[in-house]
Structure 1
Amino acid sequence: MWRYFELLSFRSMEEINGLRADCEAGANPRDIKIKLAEELVARFHGEEAAATAHRSAGNRMKEGELPDDLPEISVAAIEDMPISAVLNKAGLVKNAAVARDLLASGGVRIDGEVVDRSFIVKLGATHVCQAGKKAFGRITLVSDESSK
């Protein structure tokens, strides 16, 4: 993290060393990283964008808000599907095993509610899905007529 401060920040080395000392004294490194992120976003996008980005990222993580750019995803199916398969086909997880692991650990939310592997997505249904902390999508299970 300190190398990024040295390379990218316009802060003096004295100020960077002060932040490093704060961190070593027990300050949360996340808070120090946020300072760098705000500085960089402000430099390239303006002060208002930096404040907005920090607020919206914080709201998503702390308060469970949905991202503004929630992708709309259609998954073709010939019948109702288990949620693990839907998450995999929608691309919210790398593979079905990751989906199963997330489901087992309570890391999948459908319409804001934690679900387990027994959740079945009905053909024609649309749900806001969250897999892990950062993968979101509004998923619709659509009929795949060509597979019948």
Structure 2
Amino acid sequence: YVGIQEAPGVMYSKLVSIPDTLMWRYFELLSFRSMEEIEQLRADVEAGANPRDVKIKLAEEIVARFHGEEAAANAHRAAGNRMKDGELPEDLPEVVLEVGEDMPVAAVLNKAGLVKNSAAARDLLAAGTVKVDGEVVDRSFVFAQGSTHVCQAGKKAFARIVLK
């Protein structure tokens, strides 16, 4: 179930996670869209459109009804879903690392807890999924002592990292 008093991110997560077959019943009962529009969405999915994209439309509509348009536009952030390119989570954590020298990016990601271990950091770097201040970096990137950078490791791990 989806409670009408739940937080926008919780509502969004639950609605995006409903089974594809159940989504149509939710549209019929909860959406203000016309049946023609719902049938067009169903036809689009049957023709190959991603059902998740349709569920996102439903989730945004329902969240907007109970929490407002702004909450609906930002609900995916609170839900922990993948950020749109260049977007940062609202509750970006800050991690302060006490180090005595410059450090390679793999070691910083590991110490900051953005990856499980150094091997995972190297894998993400090799795949090109590590960003520092919005720019993709490779293994040669070095954090200077005294610097602060916003880092992203993979799709969901974000932090503002301060090296002291």
Query: Shorter-chain TM-score: what band?
Result: 0.7 to 0.9
Matched, 1:45 2:67: yes
Q: Structure 1: which amino acid aligns with 2:23?
A: F
* Secondary structure of 1:61's aligned partner: coil
Is contact 1:61–1:133 with CA below 8 Å preserved after alignment?
no
Report whether the alignment pairs 1:66 with 2:88: yes
- In the alignment of these two chains, the number of paired residues is 137
Alpha carbon RMSD of aligned pairs, Å? Answer: 3.1
Q: How far did 1:4 drift?
A: 5.2
Residue 101 of structure 1 corresponds to 123
User: Which of the numbers 8, 13, 20 marks the counterpart of 1:2?
Assistant: 20
Partner of 1:33: 55
* Residues 61 and 138 (structure 1), Cα distance of their counterparts in 2 relative to 1, 3 Å cut: same
**In the TM superposition, what is the alpha-carbon distance from 1:93 to its structure 2 partner?**
1.6
More off after superposition, 41-50 vs 91-100: 41-50
| TM score, norm. by length of structure 2 | 0.67
Deviations 1:64-122, CA, capped at 9 Å, x for gaps: 13333322111222322211111111111222221111101111111222211121212
Q: Secondary structure at the match of 1:36?
A: helix
Q: Which runs of 5 or more structure 1 residues have no equivalent in the other structure?
A: 143-148
- Residue pair 1:82, 1:120 contacting (<8 A) in 2 also: yes
Go from structure 1 to structure 2 and tell me whether the alpha carbon gap of 1:38 and 1:72 turns closer, same or farther (over 3 Å shift).
same
Instruction: Looking at secondary structure, tell me which structure has more strand per residue.
Output: 1
Q: 1:4 to 1:85 in 2, by over 3 A?
A: farther
Which structure 2 residues correspond to residues 105-120 of structure 1 after superposition, within 5 A?
105-120=127-142
- Call closer, same or farther: CA 1:40–1:89 in 2, change over 3 Å: farther
Residue in structure 1 matched with residue 101 of structure 2 by the alignment: 79
Distance 1:115 1:23, change over 3 A: same
Which string of whole-angstrom CA distances, capped at 9 and with x for unpartnered residues, describes residues 53-74 of structure 1? 469x9xx414x13333322111
Distance 1:125 1:48 in 2: 34
Find the aligned partners of 2:62 and 2:98 in 1 and give their Cα distance.
41
Shift of 1:40: 3.9
2:28 aligns to what? 11
What does the per-residue CA deviation read over 1:4-31, in whole Å, with 9 as the maximum and x for residues that have no partner?
A: 5368x36349x5x834443111223232
Question: Does the aligned pair in 2 maintain the 1:2–1:20 contact within 8 Å?
Answer: no
Pick from 136, 149, 153: which aligns with 1:127? 149
Check whether the contact 2:27–2:58 (CA below 8 A) recurs between aligned residues. no
Specify the code of the residue in structure 1 equivalent to 2:122: R
